[in-house]
């Protein structure tokens, strides 16, 4: 088996190559020469190396033209929105994404941390500290912080279940009916309005698709419960930036925690950076765990070799 690793982040290509080679001793695993790690003398794929499988993130523009015999592309992330917009991606090439691979637990930690900050009024205390102001406030009871999780797939379901276990009232929203123990999942246009009306803290965990792009606009934000909060750990394009700022400025929304943005890195001139009601992190809520992820890819390649079906195959038409 011949595998080519094409990763746009320096260091990640060689890390993936190492972890895959460890787990697939019979395979030849090399790094694409058009990527930042592709100049390592021992591990760079020579010109003309034709692979059966590719693994990576944001491959170069000419990558697929140089790899005409691929049987599939394993995304080194859970989201495939960028890969599906790659102009060279062959229409019939199977794309397989990561399923949890350690990201679920990290996503739970991130969301729970933010909820506990909100409940404990830690932002208020941070502002008070800057003015040497000693004033106590009652914490917000968890029952008064109903959470809505948009997208209850692999990661969203994990987050929804764990937040419910931590004592927050939790609802989910998906495209169709879905059963999730301990969590009511709404769907459809009427379900959408009911979901928003019941939610005070809205967590976004749906993929970026034509349906979800700009979904969180002025109308959606205005339907949340008073004292609402937005936590976006999915993709920046789900949110209309100007509508979010308007909702915060008008006090219709109390705050927002943003991990993902339309443009990354976010330009220094963007108003999000300096907004007093926005807390930001640079797309770190659930980074790929290379060793766990490579083990998942190796296990799937083994299953495919035995003629078994595998999970995580992207439905190109629906966009995730």
What does the DSSP 8-state code read for residue 224?
Answer: S
Q: How far is the CB of 311 from ligand NAP (least distance, A)?
A: 9
For the question of residue 283 being annotated catalytic, the response is yes
**Options 277, 283, 316, 318, the catalytic residue:** 283
Give CA–CA dist 189/162, Å, rounded. 26
**Which lies closer to ligand NAP via its Cβ, residue 16 or residue 320?**
320
For the question of residue 235 being annotated catalytic, the response is yes
**Which lies closer to ligand NAP via its Cβ, residue 2 or residue 279?**
279
* Phi-psi domain of 63 (left: phi exceeds 0; alpha: psi -120 through 50; beta: other): alpha
**Which lies closer to ligand NAP via its Cβ, residue 30 or residue 155?**
155
How many angstroms separate the Cα of 93 from the Cα of each of 88, 113, 191, 225, 303? 11, 39, 35, 44, 18
Q: How far is the CB of 203 from ligand NAP (least distance, A)?
A: 11
Closest CA to 178 of 155, 197, 151, 218: 151
Give CA–CA dist 293/15, Å, rounded. 11
Closest CA to 310 of 53, 36, 26: 53
C-alpha torsion 204→107→207→69, nearest 10: 170
Taking a C-beta distance cutoff of 8 angstroms, is the pair 204, 238 a contact? yes
Q: How far is the CB of 301 from ligand NAP (least distance, A)?
A: 20
Give CA–CA dist 121/73, Å, rounded. 45
Residues that bind ligand NAP (CB under 6 A): 78-79, 103, 150-156, 173-176, 178, 205-209, 211-212, 233-235, 259-260, 283, 285-286, 320
**Which lies closer to ligand NAP via its Cβ, residue 24 or residue 204?**
204
Closest CA to 206 of 181, 229, 187, 221: 187
**Options 235, 275, 277, 306, the catalytic residue:** 235
Q: How far is the CB of 166 from ligand NAP (least distance, A)?
A: 19
How many angstroms separate the Cα of 137 from the Cα of each of 54, 119, 156, 187? 54, 11, 31, 37
**Which lies closer to ligand NAP via its Cβ, residue 21 or residue 164?**
164
Q: How far is the CB of 124 from ligand NAP (least distance, A)?
A: 26
Q: How far is the CB of 211 from ligand NAP (least distance, A)?
A: 4
Phi, psi of 226 (to 5 degrees): -55, 150
**Which lies closer to ligand NAP via its Cβ, residue 74 or residue 320?**
320
User: Which residues are designated catalytic?
Assistant: 235, 283
């Amino acid at each position: 088996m011949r595998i080519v690793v094409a990763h746009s982040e320096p260091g990640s290509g060689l890390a993936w190559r190492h972890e895959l080679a460890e787990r697939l001793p019979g395979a030849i695993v090399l790094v694409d020469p058009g990527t930042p790690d592709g100049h390592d003398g021992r591990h760079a794929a020579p010109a003309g190396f034709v692979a059966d499988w590719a693994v990576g993130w944001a491959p170069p523009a000419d990558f697929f033209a140089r790899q005409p015999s691929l049987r599939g592309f394993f995304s080194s992330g859970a989201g495939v929105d960028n890969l599906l917009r790659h102009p060279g991606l062959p229409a019939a090439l199977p794309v397989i994404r990561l399923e949890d691979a350690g990201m679920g637990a990290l996503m739970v930690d991130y969301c729970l941390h933010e909820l506990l900050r909100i409940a404990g009024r830690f932002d208020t205390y941070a502002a008070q500290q800057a003015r040497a102001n000693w004033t106590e406030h009652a914490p917000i009871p968890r029952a008064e912080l109903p959470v809505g999780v948009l997208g209850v797939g692999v990661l969203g379901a994990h987050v929804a279940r764990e937040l419910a276990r931590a004592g927050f009232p939790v609802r989910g929203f998906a495209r169709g009916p879905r059963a999730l123990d301990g969590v009511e999942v709404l769907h459809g246009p009427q379900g959408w309005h009911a979901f928003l009306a019941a939610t005070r803290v809205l967590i976004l965990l749906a993929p970026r698709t034509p349906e979800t792009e700009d979904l969180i606009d002025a109308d959606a934000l205005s339907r949340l419960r008073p004292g609402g909060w937005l936590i976006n750990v999915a993709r920046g394009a789900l949110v209309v930036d100007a509508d979010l700022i308007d909702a915060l400025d008008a006090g219709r929304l109390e705050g927002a925690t943003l991990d993902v943005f339309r443009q990354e890195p976010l330009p220094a001139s963007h108003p999000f950076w300096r907004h007093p009601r926005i807390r930001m992190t640079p797309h770190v809520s659930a980074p790929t765990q290379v060793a766990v992820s490579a083990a998942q890819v190796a296990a799937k390649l083994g299953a495919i070799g035995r003629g078994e079906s595998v999970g995580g195959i992207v439905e190109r038409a629906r966009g995730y």
